[in-house]
């Protein structure tokens, strides 16, 4: 069994074997976990990190891959939620802005970075003072706490200045604008980093393992029966407290225990488009009002992310499908402000995710609560649901606080406000030295910058891999931004088990490449085969399943409605079933 007091945070195949053995051992006398977290999205990852850094013995299981649900399919923003100010939800905005500052300046400065936005103004006299007051309040609230803003203040722009910042906007699309800043993150990479940091502190984390039932002693939950989808093994994990952090699956997971006092979580589908950066000129992002919600146009490296929709979803939760109508809706609204309209041919990638909203009386998902709730429906089980991506740390803290109240021993307070994620320490120094590093490594400085912005100070590990095996410095086919070394690192350090894991979450090739990763898939499979011990048949199967997935997604995006799009998408089975 691994000595978890000397954990490194490297989620290698060997680590997974040791973690599974440690979870098995929880059924031995006096070896039960303090806390078992169910769900490897951002809240579950945060809960595992919060609990283990309080000195608790922690395990985490995820049915698919880290962040494979909602947490990898967001707008990729770390923000306070400007529109919630208009709803007078000051507490939520204040909390989110505090977390934004922490992430930018302390917890994850290597992963979260500033991004500028324009808020277009359409009425010459009335709108500017009204919107300006709201954004001024937004900036003012961000000063709460001792962590610092980490972002510039807002600025009022005339029409001429707005067009200088965004030349592709129609001249009559606005009378001026206000420029403000929020934060941006690669959501899937952030979750993986949180998971790795939890493992670094001693948590036992295992993906591709689902809860099929809860263990009970009378009314009390004392653990979970799980299935390892890699091996097919079913085994028990015992824990003093279980935290259910399964997002849109909350109702399903909770139903394994009780149908009394359930939270009701409603899934809202949000669709985003990815288009090349050169399709229109702008140095800033945009936030546009629609009749239903807001539409963001977000700078994303060599791309733009445009979204989102906000519609009820009652079909397959694992693979929400974007429809032709969703794509048309987004294009129609963004084209109202662009000189050169975007067309379907401009769309590189499409992704759909589900927001877990706390159900209320409103018929519109856009009006349901984004605040989170923590409950203890039966002894031994804590449920956390709702909330915003940005406030994951607060949600995790509240869930562990609730679980800790039922533990026999006194549990220390949360310390995650001061815990930096792996790669954050030394990042700024490494960034300042990037030119020298590129010279010493014999690679272009743009490659070093790419690695630093994805791995922080841990980029040195990938550069060392390339030094040992120069062929790992080659870019992947159809995805020049990503290197072969990143595929190998995903397997040896980040817990990737399948080609899909690498192309959709460890990298974002599935939404950034024109072919959505088809040409990269065989190369990725070859690189993964060695450390994972795949046979030639397994390698070929991985590629076939990924290509079938891409084809099914393309077909689903041609369908007119949710039902037909869902039917096309679920024709392709997961590489390993989570049921």
Distance CA 218, CA 222 (A): 10
Q: What angle do CA 303, 307, 310 make, to 5 degrees?
A: 160
Q: What letter would DSSP give residue 103?
A: I
Residues 6+ apart with CB under 8 A from 374: 382, 383, 384, 395, 398, 399, 401, 402
Cβ neighbours, 10 Å, residue 561: 12
Distance, in Å, from the CA atom of 2 to the CA atom of 23, rounded to the nearest integer, reads 11
The helix (H) or strand (E) run that includes residue 93 is helix 90-102
CB of 211 within 8 A of CB of 225?
yes
Count the neighbouring beta carbons within 10 Å of the beta carbon of residue 258: 14
pLDDT for residue 147: 56
The answer to whether 144 and 98 are in contact (CB under 8 A) is yes
Separation between Cα atoms, residue 123 and residue 120, nearest integer Å? 10
Q: Is the pLDDT of residue 136 over 70?
A: yes
Please provide residue 272's backbone torsions phi and psi, each rounded to the nearest 5 degrees.
Answer: -130, 145
Task: Report DSSP state, residue 505.
Answer: I
Q: What's CA 140's distance to the chain center, in Å?
A: 27
Give me the pLDDT at residue 467, please.
97
Complete DSSP assignment for 186-226: -HHHHHHHHHHHHHHTT-EEESSEEEEEEEEETTEEEEEEE
- Residue showing tokens 């549990």: 411
Tell me the three state secondary structure of residue 241.
strand
pLDDT score recorded for residue 261? 54
Q: State how far Cα 279 lies from the chain centre.
A: 26
CA contacts within 13 A on the Cβ side of 54: 25
Q: Which residues pair with 224 in a beta bridge?
A: 214, 237
What pLDDT is attached to residue 124? 82
- What is the SS3 assignment for 440? helix
CB 558 within 8 A of CB 320: no
Report pLDDT digits (tens) over 99-132: 999 999 999 999 999 999 999 999 888 899 989 9
| Rounded Cα gap, residues 492 and 508, in angstroms | 18
For residue 501, name the pLDDT band (cuts at 50, 70, 90).
Answer: very high
Q: Are 50 and 396 in contact (CB under 8 A)?
A: yes
Residue environment code for 392-408, b if the CB has 16+ CB neighbours within 10 A, otherwise e: bbbbbbbbbbbbbeeee
* Contact predicate 208/62, CB 8 Å: yes
Task: Supply the pTM of this predicted model.
Answer: 0.95
Is pLDDT at 367 greater than 50 in this prediction? Answer: no
DSSP 120: E
Dist CA 252 CA 265 (whole Å) = 10
pLDDT at 4 over 70: no
Q: Which residues in 267-299 are b (16+ Cβ under 10 Å) and which e?
A: bbbbbbbbbeeebbebebbbbbebeebbbbbbb
Residue 3 pLDDT more than 50?
no
pLDDT at 83: 79
Of 390, 282, 389, nearest to 334 by C-alpha is: 282
State phi, psi for 386 to the nearest 5 degrees.
85, -155
Label each residue of 506-566 as H, E or C.
HCCHHHHCCCCCCCCHHHHHHHHHHHHCCCHHHHHHHHHHHHHHHHHHHHHCCCCCHHHHH
**382-430 residue pLDDT tens:** 999 988 999 999 999 999 999 999 998 899 999 999 999 999 999 999 9
Instruction: With both helix axes pointing from N to C terminus, report the angle between 42-52 and 392-404 in degrees, rounded to the nearest 10.
Output: 50
Q: Which of 98-102, 365-369, 373-377 has the lowest mean pLDDT?
A: 365-369
Count of positions (residues) in the chain: 579
CB atoms near residue 167 (< 10 Å): 12
Contacts of 413 (CB under 8 A, 6+ apart): 54
Residue 7: which pLDDT band, with cuts at 50, 70 and 90? Answer: low
Sequence-ordered alpha helix ranges (H) in 212-273: 250-254
Q: What is the mean pLDDT of residues 33-58?
A: 98
Angle between helices 434-441 and 445-455 (to 10 degrees): 120
Q: What is the mean pLDDT of residues 203-229?
A: 97
Return the bridge partners of 169, or none.
Answer: 338
pLDDT of 231-240, one tens digit each?
999 999 999 9
């Amino acid at each position: 069994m691994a000595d978890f007091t000397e954990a490194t945070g490297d989620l290698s195949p060997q680590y997974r074997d040791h973690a599974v053995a440690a979870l098995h051992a929880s059924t031995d006398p006096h070896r039960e976990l303090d806390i078992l977290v169910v769900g490897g999205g951002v809240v579950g990852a945060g809960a595992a990190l919060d609990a283990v850094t309080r000195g608790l013995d922690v395990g985490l299981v995820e049915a698919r891959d880290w962040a494979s649900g909602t947490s990898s399919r967001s707008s990729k923003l770390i923000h306070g939620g400007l529109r919630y100010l208009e709803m007078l939800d000051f507490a939520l905005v204040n909390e989110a802005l505090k977390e934004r500052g922490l992430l930018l300046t302390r917890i994850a400065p290597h992963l979260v970075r500033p991004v500028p936005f324009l808020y277009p103004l359409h009425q010459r006299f009335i709108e500017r003072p009204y919107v300006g007051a709201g954004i001024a309040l937004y900036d003012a609230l961000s000063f709460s706490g001792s962590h610092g803003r980490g972002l510039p203040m807002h600025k009022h722009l005339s029409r001429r200045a707005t067009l200088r910042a965004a030349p592709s906007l129609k001249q009559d699309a606005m009378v001026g604008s206000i420029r403000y800043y929020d934060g941006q993150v690669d959501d899937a990479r952030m979750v993986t980093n949180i998971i790795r940091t939890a493992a670094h502190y001693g948590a036992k984390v295992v993906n591709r393992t689902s809860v099929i039932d809860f263990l009970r002693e009378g009314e009390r939950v004392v653990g979970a029966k799980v299935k390892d989808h890699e091996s097919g093994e079913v085994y028990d994990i015992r824990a003093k407290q279980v935290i259910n952090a399964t997002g849109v699956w909350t109702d399903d997971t909770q139903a394994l225990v009780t149908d009394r006092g359930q939270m009701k979580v409603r899934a809202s589908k949000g669709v985003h488009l990815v288009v090349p950066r050169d399709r229109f000129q702008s140095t800033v992002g945009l936030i546009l009002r629609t009749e239903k919600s807001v539409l963001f146009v977000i700078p994303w490296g060599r791309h733009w992310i445009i979204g989102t929709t906000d519609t009820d979803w009652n079909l397959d939760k694992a693979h929400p499908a974007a429809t032709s109508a969703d794509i048309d809706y987004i294009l129609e609204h963004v084209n109202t402000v662009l000189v050169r309209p975007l067309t379907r041919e401009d769309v590189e990638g499409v992704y759909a995710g589900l927001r877990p909203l706390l159900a209320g009386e409103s018929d519109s998902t856009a009006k349901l609560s984004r605040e989170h709730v923590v409950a203890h429906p039966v002894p031994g089980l804590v449920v956390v649901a709702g909330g915003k991506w940005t406030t994951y740390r607060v949600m995790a803290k509240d869930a562990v606080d609730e679980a800790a109240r039922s533990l026999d021993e006194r549990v220390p307070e949360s310390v995650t406000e001061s815990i930096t994620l792996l790669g954050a320490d030394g990042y700024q120094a490494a960034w300042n030295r990037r030119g020298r590093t590129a010279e010493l490594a014999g690679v272009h400085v743009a490659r070093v910058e790419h690695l630093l912005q994805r791995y922080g100070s841990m980029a040195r590990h990938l550069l060392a891999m390339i030094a040992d095996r120069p062929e790992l410095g080659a870019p992947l086919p159809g995805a020049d931004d990503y290197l072969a070394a990143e595929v190998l690192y995903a397997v040896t350090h980040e817990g990737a088990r399948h080609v899909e894991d690498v192309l959709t979450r460890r990298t974002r090739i599935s939404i950034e490449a024109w072919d959505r990763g088809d040409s990269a898939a065989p190369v990725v499979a070859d690189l993964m085969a060695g450390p994972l011990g795949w046979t030639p048949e397994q390698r070929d199967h991985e590629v076939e399943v990924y290509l079938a997935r891409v084809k099914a997604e393309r077909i689903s995006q041609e369908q007119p409605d949710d039902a037909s799009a869902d039917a096309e998408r679920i024709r392709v089975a997961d590489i390993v079933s989570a049921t």
